[in-house]
Amino acid sequence: MAAKDNLSAVLRKVNDIQMEQREIPQPTDTEVLLAVHSVGICGSDVHYWTHGAIGDFVVKMPMVLGHETSGTVVAVGSKVTSLKPGDRVAVEPGVPCRMCDYCKGARYNLCLEMKFHATPPYHGSLTRYFAHPADFCYKLPDHVSYEEGALLEPLSVGVHACRRAGVTIGHTVLICGAGPIGLVNLLTAKAMGASKVCITDIDASRLERAKQLGADWTVQVNTIVKETSAQFADRIIVAIGGHADVTIECSGAESSIQSAIYATKSGGMLVLVGLGSANVNIPIVNAAVREVDIRGIFRYANCYPLALSMVASGKVDVKPLITHRFTLEQTLEAFETARTGKDNAIKWVKYPLRNDG
Ligand code: NAD
Ligand code: ZN
């Protein structure tokens, strides 16, 4: 019976995703029950699948994957007044404790008690039904599609990074790495007023897509003739015609972080989004004496409303980021496509799980 069907993509252990039936949960007083519509696959989903861990987060128990989600409200808890059955929503996947200093200080992304979809030990959203706190669900206007709703998750990473970078009107922005996260930063930086954006990558097809999405300049890493990170930065500076006001590093590669420092103007800002090796060697004295500020980011806090309004107002078009669509039953094929990047797949691959529009 359809109402009992809660097919879910469960990561049991490394390289082992099983499609399993799970109980449909009851929402608590403050939760809503959601029928999932679209879920994007993120690099982290693929990494848990292929490695079973990201840093200290280790998959020790079977875990439902997926955290870029939109769906329809099918039931509401007794205290929920903001949503009603039938509402279409985007789901912010991390629910913090709401009690600690970070939560009270509006930096709830740093909460030590964060329960984030598909970050062990918490289940994700690649399932037909799940319950979620109503205040972490954002109602979608009629003209914003479910797929766009799911993409508010990575877009929020771009919003948080560009906010922490202080991107503003007239800025020249350098983005290192043209994967999905680099691309959402490109779109956000432009929406926030950046005049020009330069983007780098190793992969020519990714740079081509970045150009289609509005990058003003692309600079490809030369993998045939070895160049130093300072030489690569010089090529960026020549392309831009000067240093970048702010740089957003979205590859996590050591050499790219090095070039990012060299290519940022004195007094500028470098935001580290990419997470690669735990320890990297960087030209710290160069950054220090030129007062290049270096900041990290971790996910986002209070970014969904802006991400939604950027999409709803037409300032940002995330639709071109969606390259592939699969059903829930095709989960393994979807993960394989995301892992290999074949057919120029951008990392996240959509699952319209239902056919209700
Ligand atoms: P991705 O692997 O699809 O993209 C990374 C891109 O960087 C690729 O296109 C790759 O070709 C390119 N690249 C590799 N080496 C490079 C180099 N030396 N110079 C320039 N480009 C290079 O990954 P993604 O999904 O776009 O995510 C990007 C990074 O952001 C990952 O490290 C991910 O873990 C991280 N991330 C961080 C946060 C956060 O909260 N800090 C959130 C989401 C993702
Ligand atoms: Zn907290």
pLDDT at res. 211: 97
Looking at this predicted complex, what is its ipTM?
Answer: 0.99
pLDDT at res. 136: 98
User: Is the distance from the beta carbon of residue 322 to the nearest atom of ligand 1 less than 6 Å?
Assistant: no
Strands 264-272, 293-296: pairing is parallel
Q: Are residues 43 and 169 in the same domain?
A: no
Ligand 1 centroid – CA 45 distance (Å): 14
pLDDT at res. 355: 41
User: Is the distance from the beta carbon of residue 200 to the nearest atom of ligand 1 less than 6 Å?
Assistant: yes
Nearest-10 Cα torsion for 339, 345, 347, 348:
-110
Among protein residues, the one with the nearest Cα to ligand 1's atom 30 is: 274
Among protein residues, the one with the nearest Cα to ligand 1's atom 4 is: 179
Among protein residues, the one with the nearest Cα to ligand 1's atom 20 is: 201
Using the 3D structure, point to which of 259, 279, 296 is the last residue of a domain.
Answer: 296
Angle of helix 180-191 relative to helix 204-212, nearest 10 degrees, comes to 30
User: Is the distance from the beta carbon of residue 182 to the nearest atom of ligand 1 less than 6 Å?
Assistant: yes
Residue 42 lies in a domain: yes
pLDDT at res. 213: 96
Residue 198 structure tokens: 């330069």
Residue 314 lies in a domain: no
Task: List all residues 6 or more positions away from 166 whose beta carbon is below 8 Å from its beta carbon.
Answer: 246, 269
Q: Are residues 133 and 251 in the same domain?
A: no
Q: What is the CATH number of the domain that holds 174?
A: 3.40.50.720
Tokens 């190793």: give the residue: 202
Ligand 1 centroid – CA 235 distance (Å): 21
8 - beta bridge partners?
A: 20, 127
Residue 115 lies in a domain: yes
Q: What is the CATH number of the domain that holds 120?
A: 3.90.180.10
User: Is the distance from the beta carbon of residue 157 to the nearest atom of ligand 1 less than 6 Å?
Assistant: yes
Q: Are residues 124 and 22 in the same domain?
A: yes
Q: Are residues 8 and 92 in the same domain?
A: yes
175 - beta bridge partners?
A: 199, 248
Among protein residues, the one with the nearest Cα to ligand 1's atom 31 is: 274
Q: Are residues 230 and 288 in the same domain?
A: yes
Q: Are residues 240 and 147 in the same domain?
A: no
Q: Are residues 147 and 162 in the same domain?
A: no
Using the 3D structure, point to which of 278, 296, 314 is the last residue of a domain.
Answer: 296
What amino acid is encoded at 277 in this protein? S
Yes or no: say if 180 and 43 are a contact pair by the CB < 8 Å rule.
yes
Q: Are residues 190 and 175 in the same domain?
A: yes
Ligand 2 centroid – CA 94 distance (Å): 11
Yes or no: say if 46 and 338 are a contact pair by the CB < 8 Å rule.
yes
How many domains would you assign to the chain?
2
pLDDT at res. 351: 62
Per-residue H/E/C for the chain? CHHHCCEEEEEEECCEEEEEECCCCCCCCCEEEEEEEEEECCHHHHHHHHHCEECCEECCCCEECCCEEEEEEEEECCCCCCCCCCCEEEECCEECCCCCHHHHCCCHHHCCCCEECCCCCCCCCCECEEEEEHHHEEECCCCCCHHHHHCHHHHHHHHHHHHHHCCCCCCEEEEECCCHHHHHHHHHHHHCCCCEEEEEECCHHHHHHHHHCCCCEEEECCCCCCCCHHHHHHHHHHHHCCCEEEEEECCCCHHHHHHHHHHEEEEEEEEECCCCCCCCCCCHHHHHHCCCEEEECCCCCCCHHHHHHHHHCCCCCCHHHCCCECCHHHHHHHHHHHHHCHHHCCCCCECCCCCCC
Q: Is the peptide bond before 121 cis (omega within 30 degrees of 0)?
A: yes
Q: Are residues 194 and 288 in the same domain?
A: yes
The minimum-distance atom of ligand 1 relative to the CA of 47 is 34
Residue 351 lies in a domain: no
Residue 74 structure tokens: 């099918």
pLDDT at res. 349: 57
Q: Are residues 135 and 208 in the same domain?
A: no
The minimum-distance atom of ligand 1 relative to the CA of 272 is 41
User: Is the distance from the beta carbon of residue 207 to the nearest atom of ligand 1 less than 6 Å?
Assistant: no
Could you tell me the residue range of the domain that residue 9 belongs to?
2-151+322-344
Ligand lying closest to the C-alpha of residue 100: 2
Q: Are residues 195 and 144 in the same domain?
A: no
User: Is the distance from the beta carbon of residue 165 to the nearest atom of ligand 1 less than 6 Å?
Assistant: no
- Enumerate residue ranges in the chain where pLDDT < 50: 1, 347, 354-357
User: Is the distance from the beta carbon of residue 256 to the nearest atom of ligand 1 less than 6 Å?
Assistant: yes
CA dist 30 to 96, 112, 223, 237, Å?
A: 14, 22, 53, 52
pLDDT at res. 274: 97
Q: Are residues 180 and 129 in the same domain?
A: no
Residues 231-248 as b/e (b if ≥16 CB within 10 A, e otherwise) read: ebbebbbebbeebbbbbb
